[in-house]
Structure 1
Amino acid sequence: MAMNNETTSSNLTGHFLIAMPSLNGSAFGHTITYICEHNEQGAMGIVLNHPLQLNLDDIFAHLEIDDVSATRPDAVLAGGPVQTERGFVLHEHHQDKTWQGTQSLANNIYLTTSQDILDDMAHDRGPEHSLVALGYAGWGAGQLEAELAENAWLTTPADNDIIFRTPIEKRASAAAAKLGIDLSLISPQAGHA
């Protein structure tokens, strides 16, 4: 019996992937990932709970943004192992502002990859709720479906409160709780019925 609440052929855009214990020891051990895009070519997501030893103030300084008016100690996340030098801002809609590299995802969640949003964030003109990640998680065609078939992930529709208003260290357990699952009680040894 599969532990996923979605069929493996579903489009998981706008869903969470919650790592099962079988992924412990890998780059995805203990992670929760928001899936930004999933189609027949593969999938792309942002890991939501692996903070780096960087914060937004460090990013503003690195980008030499002048006259920063907002102190932003928010942790910058390790969004995944692909293109770790590239920044991604996951955010909710900002009614008065749009940015160059913004893509609408699902449920009022947007992904922006252009530096103009960071400049606005440094000057208190950015989105009210956001997170910044370096890198992303990527899967080739059929790869995520194969991992789902092996019960490597739990899936559930994403929740903006978990992404933007839940402490980083509680995001995976909060998402699993939506499914009625306590991650601390799941054994690393997978069984097959």
Structure 2
Amino acid sequence: MSLLNSQSDLNSLSLRNHFLISMPGLNDPNFSHSITYICEHNEDGAMGLVVNHTLPMKLGEIFDQLDIDDAADIGEIELLAGGPVQLERGFVLHSNDKCWESTLKVSDDIYLTASREILEALAKGEGPENLLVILGYAGWEKGQLEQEIAENSWLTVPANSHVLFNTETAMRWQAAADYVGIDLNLISQFAGHA
């Protein structure tokens, strides 16, 4: 599966630019009470970023590791654990006011960039207005995500930039459900079958 280099039109069943909200019964520690933003979804699988699990380190530590001078003094920006795959790989999910050569347009208002140049721009105070810095990602092989949805592991809802960029990290899981009128506290952890 390609990560970040597919700009092709996806079929109408694509969950690109959707949130996956973990259902209460999902016990995987990587995804429990998580909200995952789907960046790519096609016939080969899916790629997403968990956007509400913080890491015990800050952006300044990444700057130090990459020998980038933090002239903008933004080293206290929190880092998010994007998923269990390639934890050393960094992504910046951001608003559409800036883009770089490696930027993927996920939607009209949400872009994704995975390059050193965005980190250098951030350190100079030249980055996008709204952003999340994420290490690692979540990936699904062909048909895997669809199977998990059928097993009642995920609730899917259209994504919106307000939940991503203007909602406190700890509140995003419920905020995404609230956006479509669902109270996650009232959902059973068990799927029913008639």
Q: Distance in 2 between matches of 1:176 and 1:98?
A: 29
Structural RMSD (CA): 1.4
Match status 1:42 vs 2:45: yes
Match status 1:125 vs 2:126: yes
Deviation at 1:100, TM superposition (A): 2.9
Alignment of 1:62-141 (within 5 A): 62-66=65-69, 68-94=71-97, 97-141=98-142
Gaps of 5+ in 1: 1-8
Give the total of aligned pairs: 183
Q: Distance in 1 between matches of 2:145 and 2:29?
A: 15
Deviations 1:162-186 (A, max 9, x none): 0011000000100111221111222
**Equivalence for 1:178:** 179
**Equivalence for 1:4:** none
Deviations 1:74-122 (A, max 9, x none): 210000111110001100112xx43232111113111101110011111
**Equivalence for 2:147:** 146
Q: Report the residue type matching 2:119 in the other structure.
A: L
**Equivalence for 2:156:** 155
- Contact 2:63 2:70 survives alignment (8 Å): no
Gaps of 5+ in 2: 1-11
With 137-146 and 107-116 compared, the bigger mean Cα shift is at 107-116
Q: Report the residue type matching 1:55 in the other structure.
A: K
Match status 1:191 vs 2:184: no
What secondary structure does 1:23 align onto?
coil
Q: Distance in 1 between matches of 2:134 and 2:61?
A: 13
Q: Distance in 2 between matches of 1:152 and 1:163?
A: 21
| Percent identical | 56
Deviations 1:107-151 (A, max 9, x none): 311110111001111111000100011010000000011111112
Structure 1 residue runs of 4 or more that deviate by more than 6 Å after TM superposition: none
Q: Distance in 2 between matches of 1:135 and 1:67?
A: 22
- Contact 1:176 1:183 survives alignment (8 Å): yes
Q: Report the residue type matching 2:30 in the other structure.
A: A
Deviation at 1:67, TM superposition (A): 5.1
TM-score by length of 2: 0.89
Deviation at 1:17, TM superposition (A): 0.3
TM-score by length of 1: 0.90
- Contact 1:14 1:107 survives alignment (8 Å): no
Q: Distance in 1 between matches of 2:161 and 2:108?
A: 8
- Contact 2:49 2:83 survives alignment (8 Å): yes
Match status 1:27 vs 2:30: yes
What secondary structure does 2:118 align onto?
helix
**Equivalence for 1:16:** 19
